[in-house]
Amino acid sequence: MWEVLDTAKSVVEESQNVWIDIEALISFSQKLFEDGIGVPQWRCPYHFYDGTEDTVSYILVLDSMNFCFWPPSGKDKWEIDYESKRLSGYYGLAASLKQAVESGIPITKAEYLAELTLVKLEHILGGKGELQLMEDRLKILRELGCVLLEGYGGKASSLVKSAEKSALKLVRLIAEKLPSFRDVSEYQDRKIFFYKRAQIFAADLYGAFNGKDWGSFADIGELTAFADYKLPQVLRHLGILCYSQPLAQKVDQKIQLEGGSPEEVEIRANTIWAVELIRKELDRMGRKFKAFEIDWMLWNMGQDDEFRLKPYHRTVTIFY
């Protein structure tokens, strides 16, 4: 997406607290090339998939709540028990929603979402510990239900069809129709576009349906990386992202960064641009990947304890 890449690059060029170590980036790209790492599959045991319109609705509900899984200070992280495993974060959310669908709770129906209550949402998610921003999650789902009912006959699949097999059109449409997906910040008095969750929705459809049916997009390769808090953690561990001493201290001491603050915007913008540079470097070596595929690789790496030695930055936000 040109607006995401262009504005991210403009931030990178003016960043005061975050920068990219090109030598470390080239070294990592070389290792990826030599190791022959492939693109992780989207489908996993924690995702609901039946190949129908319900899968489209499930993914949109999932990505509507795909943000801020870390616990407030002094609180236990939110976790669920699923098939003898303890899951937290994104996988916990995916599995909770999968269980809801399979148990007959109609979370894929716009009518249900539009009238959802906090009590019902808490029952759907279950688990132990604290999941932040529950009131916001409820508001987002109710908003989603209403928008689908008012403009798309209550069907997420109709919204997707209206994008006419364009991932970019879908991202912009989602951001236009659903304010909670309108992930835009300001930096030096200009708008910086991220569209993290809107882009993830398009990529998830592509991954779930293997680039066919509702996941068929002619321009899927135009998506960028998804600027969250896990990718910067991985890139910093690899020495690719570097922080100024004051910012490093804040992140390492788990001091919250305000959403839209220069430091937070610089972390996210440099993350997007670093992935774009990795993509270009791999392309130069003869391996072609889409930016979001490299994002998936880095995110999967971030699930290993090796990449959690230093904390991720903390921002209370609905955008990631």
**pLDDT at res. 75:** 93
Per-residue CA distances from 190 to 6, 112, 271, 317 (Å): 12, 39, 19, 20
Domain membership flag for residue 320:
no
Domain membership flag for residue 226:
yes
Per-residue CA distances from 221 to 165, 167, 263 (Å): 13, 9, 29
Domain membership flag for residue 19:
yes
Per-residue CA distances from 254 to 70, 128, 167 (Å): 11, 22, 35
Domain membership flag for residue 42:
yes
Report the distance separating Cα 59 and Cα 47, nearest Å.
9
Report the distance separating Cα 168 and Cα 186, nearest Å.
21
CB 292 within 8 A of CB 225: yes
Query: The tokens of 47 are what?
Result: 């995702």
Domain membership flag for residue 36:
yes
Domain membership flag for residue 287:
yes
**pLDDT at res. 73:** 87
CB atoms within 10 A of CB 282: 17
Report the distance separating Cα 213 and Cα 254, nearest Å.
43
Specify the DSSP class assigned to residue 128.
B
**pLDDT at res. 37:** 84
Domain membership flag for residue 313:
no
> Which residue range is the domain that position 101 belongs to?
2-308
Residue (of 230, 226, 232) closest to 207 by Cα position: 226
Mean pLDDT by 10 residues, the chain (320 residues): 97 98 98 91 94 98 97 93 94 98 98 98 96 97 98 98 98 97 97 98 98 97 97 98 98 97 98 98 96 96 92 97
Domain count within the chain: 1
Instruction: Report the catalytic residues.
Output: 228
